[in-house]
Chain A
Amino acid sequence: MDLVARINALLWTWIQSMRSVKRISLFFPFLLFAVLQVGLLLLLIFFYLPPISSLLIPLIRLLSQESALHYPQFYFYLPGLFSKINVWLNLLASWLFVGAATLMFAGKYRGRPVRTSRALGQAFRRIIPLFAVGMVEWVVIRAVMQLFGYLTTSAGQWATQSPRLFLLVGFFINIVFIVPFAYTAAEVMLGKRSIGGALRGSFALARRNYGLTYLLFAVPSLLTLAMNLIFQYAPVIVTRTSPGVMVLLMIINIVVTVVVNFAIVGSLTAFYLRAAEQG
């Protein structure tokens, strides 16, 4: 594909994704995951209430600092804590909802809509390959981010001195390694491929269209990057306003994540189908 064709393909996939916004049912898988995230947020906010306190207090101590167990300091650490636990929630549950959403988007693009319950059922039947490819991606990304963190701290103090730059660089590097796994869910759900086949298929398609796939991820994700930048000012926000504002921002972040995931999964599915049609 030449550059003009690539730009055309990019615009086409975004248009397809945007057209899907009108079909509310396509949001359901993402909203279900958002409900889980809100549940996690509520658990964290009420960590001090028994009986969950006996589990969450040691967990907060483990993932953060002793001062996170004080009010209102807890809210300074809340975004970081949520993000650390959300990583595990992503590993354990997100694949199911992404698999279902991929199926529903494909149904919409093909003119044969799929109901949420049926899509979730089918995703559940493909549980092992979905979970496995999700696990591989999760491990690779975690390893890369750990390495990035290690290299930046060994290279100097800039990671701690320029946290915003660290976040920005980390964001773009993260996507570099996510891109090869971009089509694994589509390969499993639509291509009915095995674990190895899904990984190989996704790598091959991503390699042929690396820049385009990168943009399909990066552009919508800029919204979450903006939210993460806001969360870096958590202590200032809590001190100048109230801890409640932080909760509101976190809920806004969850809603933003729904929109971002919708845009990414919608456009990736559209591109996958287009590539499949073109052989």
Chain B
Amino acid sequence: MMTNRAFAWLLMGLVLVMSCAQDEGIGERYRAEQLYYQASSQYRTLQIDPGEFDAERSRQVRTAFRRIIEEFPTSDFHQVPGDGADVRSELLTITGMSRLNMADLFFREGRIDSAISVYRQVVAEYQDLESIGLRAQYSLALIYQSSGRWPEAVSAFDTLLENYPPFRETPQQPDETVLNIPGYVAAAYLSRGDSAKAEEYFQKARTYLDDITTRWPETPTAQMAQNQIVNTHIRQQRWSAAVTALERLAAMLPIGDDPPDALFMMAALCSDRLGDLDRAMDIYEDMLRRYPDSDKLSQAILAMGQLSFQRGDLDRARQFFSRVIEEYPRESEAGATAQYALALSYEFEGDWDKALNEFRWVVDNYPGSREAFAAPNHILEHYRQYGEEQLAQTAYQQALRIYEDIVAKNPDTPRALQGQWHIAQSHILMTSWEQAAEALEQLVQEYPRSQQVLPALISLGDIYEQHLKKADRALGVYQMILQVAPNSPYAEMAGQQIDRLQKTVP
């Protein structure tokens, strides 16, 4: 009796909850998410392994995305805000993403017109969902560009800049894609060799970006826009204007514990591009005053040392280098560079004994650093330059011992790769061409996917051709470069070498 009553209460409770509750489209959203998850999993497999890409599989994935669009027609969700508006917006995002993925698949299949048609449809239908509309408009512009329809691409980029703000929801969340576009279009004109149009579009870009810095001052969007202004000047190699823009950018950034990168860039442009060492030095000194506790000061002091070196003030340079080593022991990258520069300063002065000591210090105290790899061969090169063959022979043996030790202790690591590369360089310095070729062959064989392979192959081809007089082997090596990386600058070099070899060798 008591139990029956309890069940009756429970049942009534359930009925009450069911009648009060509203689904608000959550069930539909969940179903759409489920379908999208399944379609995206298939799509990811295609993306991860491009070798697996074929039209049939792409069609299957497109069908999976199309099912979502058909089951959840867009027209059903474009409604006035109210109950479930957020859920409807999420559903729209899912269908929008499905359409974008379908367009991308059309593009990969080479069906450019179908892709363009889908993107246009998305732009038209998703005006009230900025994130989707913007992505479609951007993809549309890129697809025009990649299919050689440059004027339409420019027009699509312009439409994007007119219709979409340079930030996501508020100016606190800048949209890097949008802010990058004006400079990107101008730079594209530059690379197409149309300098007049490039100049016009760089000006347009700066006007657009400048307007943003004025309309939303003191926001991350304004800072990013200013950064893009700097980039436009750098792309045009207008160094002085770039420095001025950087100065404005540095003033816009909030004051933190570390000096902003803009200041470092400003100083670097002053010294490297404008040759204004004094101003560069002033910028670094200002950093030391304003950010006395920053770890990034090691970079500033190192740069001050390098500036003093450039000026020929070696004593002052050494003071800066020593400060980096002593005051920032945890900044090992800066420490290694400072130690190496210290050695170079003694070598430059002609005090080889002190220089040698400092080079050895780099090897012992900064193992694994770029400088520690460079030092043994630098010592060898020094002796070769000064014709001290016996000392060179000793340095050669020592360098080989160091590099071989690194290779043996760190198999299949980037360190071993560097070690192998430097072994080849040691042989080259000693004009031991057979061994150098052997070392480079070994590098190519053991690290076929590393970035070092292409320079190694170029070097190998040169050794076979110029020093070992094995033109056929050289030809084989150059042809290998064409096979491995047909679109790289190395392939261009290899192509030229092949042409030359084929003309000279009967």
CA of A73 to CA of B33 in the docked complex: distance in angstroms? 10
**In chain B, what residue has the closest Cβ to A69?**
B26
Whether the Cβ atoms of A50 and B23 lie closer than 8 Å is yes
Any A CB within 8 A of the CB of B3: yes
Interface membership of chain A positions 52-87, coded 1 if the CB is closer than 8 angstroms to chain B and 0 otherwise: 011101110000000001111010000000000000
With A48-B26, A48-B27 as known contacts, state yes or no: A55 contacts B33, CB within 8 Å. no
Contacts of A236 on B, CB cut-off 8 Å? none
**Shortest Cβ distance from A94 into chain B, in angstroms?**
15
Taken residue by residue from 29 to 69, chain A's Cβ proximity to chain B (1 for < 8 Å, 0 otherwise) reads as: 00000000000000000011111011101110000000001
Give A54 Cβ to nearest chain B Cβ, in Å. Answer: 5
Contacts of B33 in A (CB 8 A): 70-72
The answer to whether B22 and A54 have CB atoms under 8 Å apart is yes
Cβ B30 vs Cβ A54 within 8 A: no
A215 CB contacts on chain B under 8 angstroms:
none
Assembled-state Cα–Cα distance A49/B34 (Å) = 13
Report the separation of the CA atoms of residues A187 and B47 in the bound assembly, to the nearest whole angstrom: 64
Q: Is B484 located at the chain interface by the 8 A CB criterion?
A: no
Is A128 among interface residues, defined by CB-CB distance under 8 A?
yes
Among B20, B26, B34, the residue within 8 A (CB) of A53 is B26
* Given the contacts A55-B17, A127-B3, A128-B2, A48 and B31 also touching, CB distance less than 8 Å: yes
- B18-53 Cβ-contact flags toward A at 8 Å (1 or 0): 101111001111110110010001000000000000
- B residues in contact with A51, CB < 8 Å: 18
A131 at interface by CB-CB < 8 Å: yes
Contact flags (1/0) for A215-259 with B, using CB distance below 8 Å?
000000000000000000000000000100000000000000000
> Contacts of B468 on A, CB cut-off 8 Å?
none
Q: Note all chain A residues with C-beta closer than 8 A to B29.
A: 69-70
- Residues from chain A with a CB closer than 8 A to the CB of B34 are 71-72
Contact B37–A54 (Cβ < 8 Å): no
Which of A53, A127, A131 has the largest number of chain B CB atoms within 10 A?
A53
Given the interface contacts A54-B21, A54-B22, A55-B18, does A128 sit within 8 Å of B3 by beta carbon?
yes
> How near does chain A come to B91, taking the closest CB pair, in angstroms?
12
Number of interface residues of A (CB under 8 A): 20
Contact B30 A70 (CB under 8 A): yes
Residue numbers in B under 8 Å from A50 (CB-CB) = 23, 27
In the bound complex, how far is the Cα of B17 from the Cα of A53, in angstroms?
11
Of listed B14, B17, B20, residue having the most chain A CB within 10 A? B17
Question: CA of A195 to CA of B41 in the docked complex: distance in angstroms?
Answer: 56
Determine whether the beta carbon of A54 is less than 8 Å from that of B18: yes
A245 to B362, CA, bound (A): 54
Residues of A within 8 A of B37 (CB): 71-72
Complex Cα–Cα for A74 and B31 (A): 12
A48 contact set on B, CB distance < 8 A: 26-28, 30-31
Q: Are B23 and A57 in contact (CB under 8 A)?
A: yes
User: Which chain A residues in 98-152 approach chain B with CB under 8 Å?
Assistant: 127-128, 131
Kindly state the separation between the CA atoms of A105 and B20 in the bound complex, as whole angstroms.
46
Q: Is the CB of A54 within 8 A of B23?
A: yes
Residues of B within 8 A of A72 (CB): 33-34, 37
B45 CB to nearest A CB, Å: 13
Q: Give the chain A neighbours of B23 by CB distance below 8 A.
A: 50, 53-54, 57
Closest to A131 in B: B3
Identity of the chain B residue whose Cβ is nearest the Cβ of A73 in the assembled complex: B33
Given contacts A70-B33, A71-B34, A55 and B27 within 8 Å (CB-CB):
no
Query: Would A71 and B30 count as touching, CB distance under 8 A?
Result: yes
Q: How far is the CB of A64 from chain B (nearest CB, A)?
A: 13
> Which residue of A51, A57, A131, A242 has the most chain B CB atoms within 10 A of its CB atom?
A57
Bound CA span A228–B20, Å: 34
CA distance A74 to B29 in the complex (A): 13
- The complex places the Cα of A187 from the Cα of B282 at a distance, in Å, of 92
In the complex, residue of chain A having the shortest beta-carbon distance to the beta carbon of B36: A71
Residues of B within 8 Å of A69, CB to CB, are 26, 29-30
Give bound CA distance, A49 to B2, whole Å.
34
Determine the distance from Cα of A77 to Cα of B37 in the docked complex, in whole angstroms: 17
- Complex Cα spacing A48 to B27, Å: 4
Could you give 24 example pairs across A and B, Cβ below 8 Å?
A47-B27, A48-B26, A48-B27, A50-B27, A53-B26, A54-B18, A54-B21, A55-B14, A55-B18, A57-B26, A57-B27, A58-B17, A58-B21, A59-B17, A70-B30, A70-B33, A71-B33, A71-B34, A72-B37, A74-B30, A127-B3, A128-B2, A131-B3, A242-B41
**Further pairs besides A50-B23, A54-B18, A70-B30: 8, Cβ < 8 Å:** A48-B27, A48-B28, A49-B27, A53-B27, A54-B23, A55-B18, A71-B34, A74-B30
A residues with a Cβ closer than 8 A to B are 47-51, 53-55, 57-59, 69-72, 74, 127-128, 131, 242
Q: Which 7 A-B pairs have the closest CB atoms?
A: A71-B33, A48-B27, A48-B30, A53-B27, A71-B34, A54-B21, A58-B21
